[in-house]
Amino acid sequence: MQAGPQQANTRKNQAKRSDAEDSRKTFESVCATCHGLDGKGGERGPNVATRAEVQRLSDEETLRILKAGIPAAGMPAFGALGLPKIKAVMGYLRVLQGGSKAASIRGDPQSGKLLFFGKAGCAKCHMINGEGGFLGADLSSYGLNVSIEDLRTAITEPNKDLEPMERTVVVTTREGQKFTGIARNEDNFSVQLQTLDGAFHLLAKADLKHLEYQPKSLMPADYGAVLSAGELDDLVSFLLHTAQTAKQTQASGGKVKREDGDE
Ligand code: HEC
Ligand code: HEC
């Protein structure tokens, strides 16, 4: 293409547009080999676009990582690009992360912790750092690999994308005993059920009058209504904070640092 005189008139606009274009190109040529063109991760680098943990890094922290790298973990230092270019790449990274929406996690982790172990009853079924119940997944590092949006959905819509093994099982024995729980194992002759109290029950199918898989999770489906928007933010923020702390502990050589002290 030839540079014509018309171009001079719109130089300002174009300069802006080509800045954005440049930062995209820089990302695609420098970062994408490891993090993927969309930033969602590749063989040599993790997802830096939709992972909540990365979305939550402040601009300052992100710049520090880009400048100094994390050499031990395989993330090179890019200080040589110069600050303006690094800032531009970070801008493009924020675009990949979904802009301001991603950065707007408001809740208070401390209040979220009180909810988790108190009123909201999450700890009846979920464990965090060794405390809580066994029925649901251990959520200590759950926040590392999900977006803020997915985390919220996991709490408010537990029946969405339910895995077959996560369905609620209700059985009635021939003697009239009734159990509700999750099937941890099942074959032609028996089913191993874990009930709400965490106990395991190995039941012979010959002894059962009725066995039903319900198309819903044991997790209450009404948290979206029972908890206020602010309380949900608090819980999300607590789960993210916990996961991040777990990762930092790991990174510092597995030294266990517990906020609560040992019982
Ligand atoms: C040679 C591969 C490679 C290249 C090139 C690379 N990265 Fe990384 N990056 C990594 C790895 C591996 C990690 C994970 C470090 C860790 O586990 O702590 C990482 C981590 C990060 C993190 C922090 C994520 C976290 O989990 O805290 C950000 C942000 C990031 N990279 C952005 C970029 C940007 C922007 C570029 C381009 C300027 C880039 N990276 C280029 C491999 C790479
Ligand atoms: C009565 C038991 C119960 C209670 C109470 C409960 N959950 Fe769950 N939760 C489950 C079960 C069962 C699943 C689905 C199986 C799994 O992944 O653990 C689940 C799934 C989840 C998941 C998705 C986990 C994954 O690996 O996909 C999250 C996140 C979660 N619960 C958070 C919470 C939070 C936060 C609370 C409190 C507001 C809560 N749960 C209360 C039982 C419960």
For the chain, residues with pLDDT lower than 70 are 1-20, 99-105, 145, 247-263
Contact assessment for residue 174 and residue 208, using Cβ atoms and an 8 Å cutoff = yes
Task: Provide the sign of the torsion angle of the four alpha carbons 140, 146, 152, 158, taken in this order.
Answer: negative
**What pLDDT, on a 0 to 100 scale, did the predictor assign at position 249?**
67
pTM listed for this prediction: 0.61
Nearest CA to ligand 2 atom 43: 219
Q: Which CATH number is 164-213's, of 1.10.10.10, 3.40.50.300, 2.30.30.100, 3.40.630.40? A: 2.30.30.100
Classify domain 104-158+220-252 at the CATH topology level: Cytochrome Bc1 Complex; Chain D, domain 2 (1.10.760)
**What pLDDT, on a 0 to 100 scale, did the predictor assign at position 259?**
45
Choose one of 34, 75, 244 to mutate for the ligand 1 pocket test, by most ligand atoms within 8 angstroms of C-beta.
Answer: 75
- Smallest CA-to-CA distance from 73 within 39, 46, 36, 37 is with 46
Q: What CATH number is given for 5-97 in this structure?
A: 1.10.760.10
- Smallest CA-to-CA distance from 39 within 18, 23, 19, 58 is with 23
Choose one of 28, 33, 48 to mutate for the ligand 1 pocket test, by most ligand atoms within 8 angstroms of C-beta.
Answer: 48
- Do the domains 104-158+220-252 and 5-97 match in fold? yes
CA–CA separation, 217 and 166 (whole Å) = 6
**What pLDDT, on a 0 to 100 scale, did the predictor assign at position 261?**
41
pLDDT tens digits, 198-217: 899 999 999 999 999 998 99
Query: What does the domain layout of the chain look like in residue ranges?
Result: 5-97, 104-158+220-252, 164-213
